[in-house]
C-alpha cells in the first residue's frame, strides 16, 4: 500500500554502479536515503552531491551491518526499505580458486546479504518494510568459470526465499534481482577488448549488455510499498540470459 510519509531507505553499496543509480532514483521518487559503502572517497562525493547522510562500512561483517542499520534507522526515524548492492566478481574455475578467494567471495556477497536480512528482521516494523538483495543470472544458469560467485549468488536466492517465509507474518517483504552482465566499474575489465565485449553481448539474447539504471529501476520497483503483495521473488534483469535461448547467427 502507498504510504503518506517519504520512504526511508538504507542502501548498502551505494557508491557502486548499480547502487549509485538506485540512490538517484530513490531521491527522485522522494525517498529519504542513508548511504553506506566501503569506498570512502566515492561515498563521500555522492553524499555531498545529493546532501544525504552516509557512513563507510565493511558489509562483509554482519555485525557491522547491524550497527550501521541501527545508525541509519536512528537518523531517518526508522527503516522502510533496505537494498544490498554490494558485490564482487571472480571468474576462475574451481581448481584455480584459492580458499582465500572462496571465503572472500562468500563474505562479500552472501554474508553481507545475511547481515541485511538480520538487521531488517530486527528493525522493520510489522506490516511494512521491503528488502531487496542482488543475486546474479549466474546463479540460475550454468556459466563456465563462475563456481565461486555462482555459489554465493545462489545462496542469496535461498536466503531471500527463506527470509520471505520467515517474515511474511510480519508483513516484511524480501525479494531479489538477478542481473546479467551490466556495464559498471566492477565489470569494466570483462569488456575491455572488442572481442571480449562481443562475446559477452552474444551471451544475452536481447543483444546488448545491461545498464545500471535498468537494474536499479527493478530494485526501486520492488522496494516501493505499492508492491505490497510481492515477496519471495527473484526478478531476472538479464537480457534473457538465464531463461531464453540465445540468437543463432
| 118-129 pLDDT, tens digit each | 999 999 988 889
Query: Is 245 part of a structural domain of the chain?
Result: no
Question: Measuring CA to CA, which residue among 44, 41, 4, 11 is closest to residue 25?
Answer: 11
State the alpha helices, DSSP H only, in the chain.
17-29, 40-50, 62-76, 99-106, 112-123, 147-166, 194-202, 212-223
Confirm whether 243 is domain-assigned: no
Q: 247 in a domain, yes or no? A: no
Report the domain count for the chain. 1
* 248: in domain: no
Q: What is the pLDDT of residues 75-88, one digit of tens each?
A: 999 999 999 999 99
- Residue % of the chain over a pLDDT of 70: 97
Closest by CA position to 217, among listed 234, 237, 193: 237
The rounded Cα 22 to chain-centroid distance in angstroms is: 10
Q: What is the CATH number of the domain that holds 102?
A: 3.40.50.720
Instruction: Determine, yes or no, domain membership for 213.
Output: yes
Residue 3 domain-assigned (yes or no)? no
Which residue's C-alpha cell is 526499505?
Answer: 81
**Buried b or exposed e, range 26-51, using 16+ CB within 10 angstroms:** beeeebbbbbbbbeeebbeebbeebe
Of 2-11, 145-154, 175-184, 221-230, the range with the lowest mean pLDDT is 2-11
| C-alpha torsion sign, points 225, 226, 229, 231 | negative
For the chain, how big is the Rg over CA atoms in Å? 17
Angle made by CA atoms 229, 232, 235, in degrees to the nearest 5: 95
Residue 154 lies in a domain: yes
Task: Quote the domain boundaries for residue 146.
Answer: 8-237
Amino acid at each position: 500500500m502507498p504510504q503518506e510519509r517519504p520512504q526511508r531507505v538504507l542502501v548498502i553499496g551505494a557508491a557502486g554502479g548499480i547502487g549509485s543509480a538506485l540512490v538517484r532514483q530513490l531521491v527522485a521518487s522522494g525517498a529519504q536515503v542513508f548511504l553506506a559503502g566501503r569506498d570512502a572517497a566515492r561515498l563521500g562525493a555522492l553524499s555531498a552531491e545529493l546532501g544525504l547522510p552516509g557512513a563507510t562500512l565493511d558489509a562483509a561483517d554482519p555485525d557491522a551491518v547491524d550497527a550501521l542499520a541501527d545508525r541509519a534507522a536512528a537518523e531517518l526515524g526508522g527503516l522502510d526499505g533496505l537494498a544490498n548492492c554490494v558485490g564482487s566478481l571472480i571468474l576462475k574455475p574451481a581448481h584455480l580458486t584459492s580458499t582465500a578467494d572462496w571465503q572472500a567471495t562468500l563474505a562479500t556477497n552472501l554474508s553481507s546479504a545475511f547481515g541485511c536480512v538480520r538487521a531488517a528482521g530486527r528493525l522493520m516494523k510489522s506490516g511494512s518494510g521491503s528488502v531487496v538483495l542482488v543475486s546474479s543470472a549466474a546463479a540460475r544458469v550454468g556459466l563456465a568459470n563462475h563456481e565461486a560467485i555462482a555459489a554465493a549468488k545462489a545462496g542469496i536466492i535461498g536466503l531471500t526465499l527463506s527470509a520471505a517465509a520467515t517474515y511474511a507474518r510480519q508483513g516484511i517483504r524480501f525479494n531479489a534481482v538477478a542481473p546479467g552482465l551490466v556495464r559498471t566499474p566492477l565489470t569494466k575489465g570483462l569488456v575491455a577488448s572488442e572481442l571480449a565485449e562481443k562475446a559477452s553481448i552474444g551471451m544475452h539474447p536481447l543483444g546488448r549488455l545491461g545498464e545500471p539504471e535498468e537494474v536499479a529501476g527493478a530494485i526501486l520497483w520492488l522496494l516501493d510499498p505499492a508492491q505490497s503483495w510481492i515477496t519471495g521473488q527473484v526478478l531476472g534483469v538479464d537480457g534473457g540470459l538465464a531463461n531464453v535461448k540465445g540468437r543463432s547467427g
